[in-house]
Amino acid sequence: MTEIIRLTAAEIAAKVQAREVSAVEVAQAHLDRIGAVDQAVHAFLHVDTERALQAAKAVDEDVAAGRPAASPLAGVPLALKDVLTMQGAPTTCGSKTLEGWQPPYDATVTTRLLAAGVVILGKTNMDEFAMGSSTENSAFGPTRNPWDLDRIPGGSGGGSSAALAAFEAPLAIGTDTGGSIRQPGSVTGTVGVKPTYGTVSRYGLVAFSSSLDQAGPCARTVLDAALLHEVIAGHDPLDSTSIDTPVPPVVAAAREGANGDLSGVRVGVVTQFAGDGYQPGVSAAFDAAVAQLRDLGAEIVEVSCPSFDLALPAYYLIAPSEASSNLARFDAMRYGLRIGDDGTHSAEEVMSLTRAAGFGAEVKRRIILGTYALSAGYYDAYYGSAQKVRTLIMRDFEAAFAKVDVLVSPTTPTTAFKIGERADDPMAMYKADLCTIPSNLAGNAALSVPCGLSEDDGLPVGLQIMSPALQDHRGYRVAAAYEAARDAAQGGPLIHRVPELEVAH
């Protein structure tokens, strides 16, 4: 089992097609791993054993019959964030409001995964309605970081990142509204990618902030992330925000980058993402990564993006405002939790009782903030002003990308903090997304690749690589080149150094 679960997704797919191992054996090995360690990690909210084995069996039947593989990832297991719908499985969004709800349709991402022969193991834990940076806001308990079970795995997609780091799955899907793929990737030593907004369908993704939400691939290697990216991306007529444009050549770029030559690539270091508030070990690992990029032939240029300093407050007006609108659908009238339906309460009272009981503190905080920002007399001062800042951030990116091919920064200012450490300090929690939020506001592509362990605490640090909209492949090329050099320097993949789990935690 240990040998199988430590393979990359690309290696698993190749061995399945070569009949060196069956897809059923691969799925069972990962299900066994989940059974062995997930009580300690709590990455999964739902494990779909029977359907996973059935899907794996179908792949083996195709291989035995000599039929072409459905995709380069046929037979590879995957963990699906519980904000994407899947028929026959609960979709809770980490909230009591949707506990036990089974959607009547698949998200487009889910449909594409199943059509590609990807074996979905189950649904992963998350901050409630994707609101958080630690996966402590889940109504079903926190997920723990496999590097240190007393620490957070990032959020909101901590379940997906923890599943990867614990070797419970080689692939996962996350969603990124303000950093919810990249920040978990950073603190768990995994790869997380936010594609260009509109290039991966949002149909069936339960909305938090419609102009910011974006599903994307999570993996342990850059190539695996690229392979998954090509499976889930592409135009979808069911999503009105979907862009009808070819998928960027991310797999080709990852393979090219692995050759290790970045000659002619201009890399911009964002000066706003440095200084006070950054953990010394994070800054040191980032500086070493930039030096490595230079050694690979890249030209390093300092770039100033002054409006990035305003990204955090702008985001925390725009996102809660859209959440206030989107979460109005959970009204206890049609589906989900229903409190007070005993014939003695009016519909308005049932709605109020249900929302009070069903939503957690962070969700309530954001709904209240967003409702206030949208209210008469305050709309222009708050929401309107935040949208103007958003335009300034887009202009900063445009000016920067006129000078360089990609931008880099630390993914998050610190390594994984201890569970409960920031529970009573929302502002400290929000600052975890300081570096990731600008790319969500602008809609461009960004990814996080591990860049070593912090000298402060021995925990993973992430290197964020930002690319222009629809130029996602630029980030993959740079990330793959850096990853290859990093692994060569340290004698193997960083993720293989994750400590053995203390399953009795």
Instruction: Give the 3-state secondary structure of residue 312.
Output: helix
Question: What stretches of 176-329 adopt beta strand conformation (E)?
Answer: 191-194, 215-219, 266-270, 299-303
- Look up residue 151 and give its DSSP letter: B
Per annotation, catalytic residue among 22, 138, 161, 180: 180
Strand partners, 77: 119
Residue with tokens 């990029």: 293
* Sheet bearing 460-467, strands edge to edge: 44-47, 119-124, 77-81, 171-175, 215-219, 191-194, 445-453, 460-467, 406-410, 266-270, 299-303
Alpha-carbon gap, residue 335 to 98, rounded angstroms: 8
Element (H, E) at 445: strand 445-453
474: its two tokens: 């630029």
- C-beta separation of 118 from 227 below 8 A: no
Going by C-alpha positions, the residue among 498, 501, 446, 450 that lies closest to residue 475 is 446
Is residue 133 part of the annotated active site? The answer reads: no
Going by C-alpha positions, the residue among 18, 29, 149 that lies closest to residue 504 is 149
Residue with tokens 């990690």: 41
Is residue 307 part of the annotated active site? The answer reads: no
Q: Are strands 77-81 and 119-124 parallel, antiparallel or unpaired?
A: parallel
| Half-sphere exposure of residue 93: CA atoms within 13 angstroms, side-chain side | 27
List of residues 6+ apart from 270 with CB closer than 8 A: 303, 304, 305, 308, 400, 407, 408, 409
Alpha-carbon gap, residue 315 to 12, rounded angstroms: 39
106: its two tokens: 């698949």
Per annotation, catalytic residue among 156, 186, 209, 324: 156
Alpha-carbon gap, residue 247 to 240, rounded angstroms: 17
Backbone φ and ψ of 27, nearest 5°: -60, -45
Is residue 325 part of the annotated active site? The answer reads: no
**CA 127 → CA 180, 391, 448, distances in Å?**
9, 28, 20
- C-beta separation of 186 from 411 below 8 A: yes
DSSP sequence for 11-24: HHHHHHHTTSS-HH
Q: How far is CA 490 from the centre of its chain?
A: 26
Number of H helices, E strands in the chain: 17, 11
Per annotation, catalytic residue among 15, 81, 123, 194: 81
Give the residue numbers marked as catalytic: 81, 156, 180
